[in-house]
């Protein structure tokens, strides 16, 4: 193991994809064919500029188009190719996939989604605990593969919120209190022999070069 890996923290930057034509209106889930809007492409370019000065060791992305398109400007700017990581995939919303949020919010089950998500499974889909277990395991695997480096992961709001809740030691039933906006960056660092430190959540403007801990 290189000296850097033994003595430096491992930094994971969690990037939500940029806006799409349905952001805030529809629960798109894993349905294919949803691309970034013009605003979303601008946001992706902005994220790439914010990473100037960051020594990026690896890029990983959810398989969906909107995350891969968000990663593209960072690939161009860093010269690194984003690797598709299924563990970063959006929650499987099952029968709710593609439904209007305005309709879902009127359902009694929506209150469980918001207030007790650990007890909820999407009809025909994934439970929130399964989603959290999957995404946390993926991030743990990726950070272990790049110990002492900086890893950028492009994912979705709920998976990122679930990882942050785990890193903060917050119960999954409270993870809806975490805000993860389109193309925001959240950062978690692991110092050697220590647990995670959450450095920033939902960052949308400031440069990212100064985030690393010793």
Interatomic CA distance for residues 152 and 71, integer angstroms = 9
Residue 1 confidence (pLDDT): 44
Q: What average pLDDT score do residues 1-11 get? A: 67
| pLDDT tens-place string over residues 150-172 | 999 999 999 999 999 999 999 99
Contact 8, 157 (CB under 8 A): no
Any idea where the domains of the chain sit in the sequence? 3-203
Q: Is 21 exposed, middle or buried (0-12, 13-18, 19+ CB in 10 A)?
A: middle
Q: Please, are residues 189 and 197 in contact by the beta-carbon 8 Å criterion?
A: yes
Q: Hey, what long-range contacts does 115-123 have (CB within 8 A, 24 or more apart)?
A: 115/173, 115/176, 116/173, 117/172, 117/173, 117/175, 117/176, 118/171, 118/172, 118/173, 122/91, 122/92, 122/93, 122/94, 122/95, 122/96, 123/94, 123/95, 123/96
Model confidence band, residue 108 (pLDDT cutoffs 50, 70, 90): very high
Which pLDDT value is given to residue 5?
A: 53
Average the pLDDT over 108-113 and give the result: 97
- As to burial, measured by CB atoms within 10 angstroms (0-12 exposed, 13-18 middle, 19+ buried), residue 99 is middle
Helices marked H in the chain: 3-7, 38-50, 65-78, 101-104, 108-115, 128-145, 157-168
Average pLDDT along the chain: 95
Per-residue pLDDT for 213 more than 90? no
Q: Where are the beta strands (DSSP E) in 150-193?
A: 150-155, 185-190
Mean pLDDT over 141-153 rounds to 97
CATH of 3-203, one of 3.40.50.1240, 3.30.1180.20, 3.40.50.300, 3.90.1150.10: 3.40.50.1240
Specify the pLDDT at position 20: 98
pLDDT band for position 21 (cuts 50, 70, 90) = very high
Type and span of the H or E element at 1: none
Q: pLDDT, tens digit, for every residue of 181-205?
A: 999 999 999 999 899 999 999 999 9
Q: What is the pLDDT of residues 32-51, one digit of tens each?
A: 999 999 999 999 999 999 99
- Per-residue pLDDT tens over the stretch 50-69: 999 999 999 999 999 999 99
Q: Tokens 């034509």 correspond to what residue?
A: 21
């Amino acid at each position: 193991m290189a000296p850097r890996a033994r003595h430096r923290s491992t930094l994971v930057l969690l990037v939500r994809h940029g806006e799409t034509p349905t952001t805030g209106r529809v629960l798109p889930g894993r349905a294919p064919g949803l691309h970034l809007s013009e605003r979303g492409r601008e946001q992706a370019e902005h994220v790439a500029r914010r990473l100037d000065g960051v020594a990026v060791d690896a890029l990983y992305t959810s398989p969906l188009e909107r995350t891969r398109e968000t990663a593209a400007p960072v690939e161009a700017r860093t010269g690194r190719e984003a690797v598709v990581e299924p563990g970063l995939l959006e929650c499987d919303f099952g029968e709710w996939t593609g439904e209007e949020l305005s309709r879902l919010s009127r359902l009694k089950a929506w209150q469980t989604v918001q207030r007790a998500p650990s007890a909820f499974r999407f009809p025909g889909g994934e439970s929130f605990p399964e989603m959290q277990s999957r995404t946390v395991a993926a991030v743990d695997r990726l950070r272990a593969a790049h110990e002492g480096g900086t890893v950028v992961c492009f994912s979705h709001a709920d998976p990122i919120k679930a990882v942050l809740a785990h890193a903060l030691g917050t119960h999954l039933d409270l993870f809806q209190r975490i805000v993860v906006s389109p193309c925001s960056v959240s950062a978690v660092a692991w110092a050697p022999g220590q647990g995670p430190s959450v450095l920033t959540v939902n960052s949308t403007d400031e440069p990212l070069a100064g985030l690393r801990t010793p």
